[in-house]
Amino acid sequence: MTGRPLVLLDKAVPEPQAGELLIKVLRCGVCRTDLHVIDGDLSEGKYPLVPGHEIVGRVVKGGARFAAGARVGVPWLGWTCGKCEYCASGRENLCGQARFTGYTLDGGYAEYALADERFCFPIPDGYPDLQAAPLLCAGLIGYRSLRLTNISDGDNLGLTGFGASAHLVLKMVQRQYPKTKVFVFSRTGAEQQFAKELGAAWAGSPEKESPEKLQAIIDTTPAWGPVVEALKNLERGGRLVMNAIRKEKNDKDALLALEYPRDLWMEKEIKSVANITRRDVEEFLRMAADTPIRPEVREYRLEEANTALLELKERKIRGAKVLRIG
Ligand SMILES: [Zn+2]
Ligand SMILES: [Zn+2]
């Protein structure tokens, strides 16, 4: 049943089919999308369901690509058809038949998980389990969003919201675009403070005007207000990338505050980001290990999953949240 706290159950260890790995889960990240899945806000969830799509684990029963004992990561994108025009053109993130870990497939809030080995990835040697977990969604979707902004080094970038994904974007920018200044919009003083500690050029509340115009903005909030408020800060020809699987209905009225001349005229663009591709995973994991990008993480036991979800909802704890399982 959706909209209720998660229930801890004893289940048989699942049996892998051809092409699948049986994985002993070590860590699994907790993501805002899990809240939407658990609350039934997304329409295609398989229930009952094991949530969780930032899995780091060890292979118990291997396949053609991974032997038993290998350390692997399993992200949100769990299966694609491989045949449609999107799959054939490097846009498998848009495949109409795609299946998703912890949403339409069982995920990683469990001791064991199954995964299609074509959608499993080696975790770089030496990279800690705990910090690898948030890379697999918060980091990856941040990486894809940053790519979609099309910025060059030295362009100003805005971030609305400063949770697990946005704080990793800031770390990526510092590595990939060292001359770029980052401006953070958040309603909470704690997030503004966190952003400044990590090196943001400016942090303030969303209704404020940023001290400089921005070539791009990445929105990581579940609400409409921050999007409308941010658009006035975009430079001519600038792009706002929405990194959110779902927008809340209760502040939809904020859209009525949109002023065409101020917010959209002069070829300003709005673009959403959906899912990730396997190419994103490979490129990003390499970059995260080389840099190295290390997420700020708070750890919880599997039995504390409901607490982790609640603290994510209330935005009490900064950085990313991860369940320790193995
Ligand atoms: Zn496809
Ligand atoms: Zn996620």
Ligand nearest to the CA of 108: 2
User: Whose atoms come closest to the Cα of 52: which ligand?
Assistant: 2
- pLDDT 10s digit of each residue in the chain, 326 long? 677 899 999 999 999 999 999 999 999 999 999 999 999 988 888 999 999 999 999 999 988 999 999 999 999 999 999 999 999 999 999 999 999 999 999 999 999 999 999 999 999 999 999 999 999 999 999 999 999 999 999 999 999 999 999 999 999 999 999 999 999 999 999 999 999 999 999 999 999 999 999 999 999 999 999 999 999 999 999 999 999 888 988 999 999 999 999 999 999 999 999 999 999 999 999 999 998 899 999 999 999 999 999 999 888 778 899 999 97
Q: Which ligand is nearest to the CA of 54?
A: 2
- With CA atoms as reference, report the closest residue to 182 among 203, 208, 164: 203
273 C-alpha to ligand 1 centroid (Å):
17
Quote the CA–CA distance of 34 and 25 in Å, as a whole number.
17
For ligand 1, the distance from its centroid to the CA atom of residue 275, given in whole angstroms, is 13
What is the rounded CA–CA span in Å between residue 123 and residue 72? 5
Cα(211) to centroid(ligand 2), Å: 31
CB-CB contact of 217 with 234 (8 Å): yes
**Cα 20 to middle of ligand 1, angstroms:** 19
Query: Residues 149, 237: contact at Cβ < 8 Å?
Result: no
Rg (CA), the chain: 19
- What SS3 state is found at 106? coil
DSSP state of 80: -
C-alpha 168 – ligand 2 centre gap (Å): 13
The reported pTM is: 0.94
Rounded to the nearest angstrom, the distance between the alpha carbon of 236 and the centre of ligand 2 is 31
Closest-approaching ligand to the CA atom of 245: 2
Looking at CATH, the fold of the domain delimited by 20-136+276-324 is given as Quinone Oxidoreductase; Chain A, domain 1 (3.90.180)
Phi, psi of 60 (to 5 degrees): -95, -50
- How many A from CA of 32 to the centre of ligand 2? 6
Ligand having the closest approach to the CA of 165 = 2
Joined together, the tokens standing for residue 178 give: 């060292």
Q: Which ligand is nearest to the CA of 37?
A: 2
Q: In angstroms, what CA-CA distances link 1 with 21, 38, 64, 304?
A: 28, 8, 37, 19
Torsion of CA 147, 149, 151, 157, to 10 degrees: -120
Asked if 78 contacts 118 with a C-beta cutoff of 8 angstroms, the reply is: no
Q: Which residues pair with 239 in a beta bridge?
A: 216, 269
Secondary structure (3-state) at 173:
helix
Q: Where in the chain are all domains bearing CATH 3.40.50.720? A: 139-272
The CATH number for 139-272, chosen from 3.30.43.10, 3.40.50.720, 3.20.20.70, 2.60.40.10, is 3.40.50.720
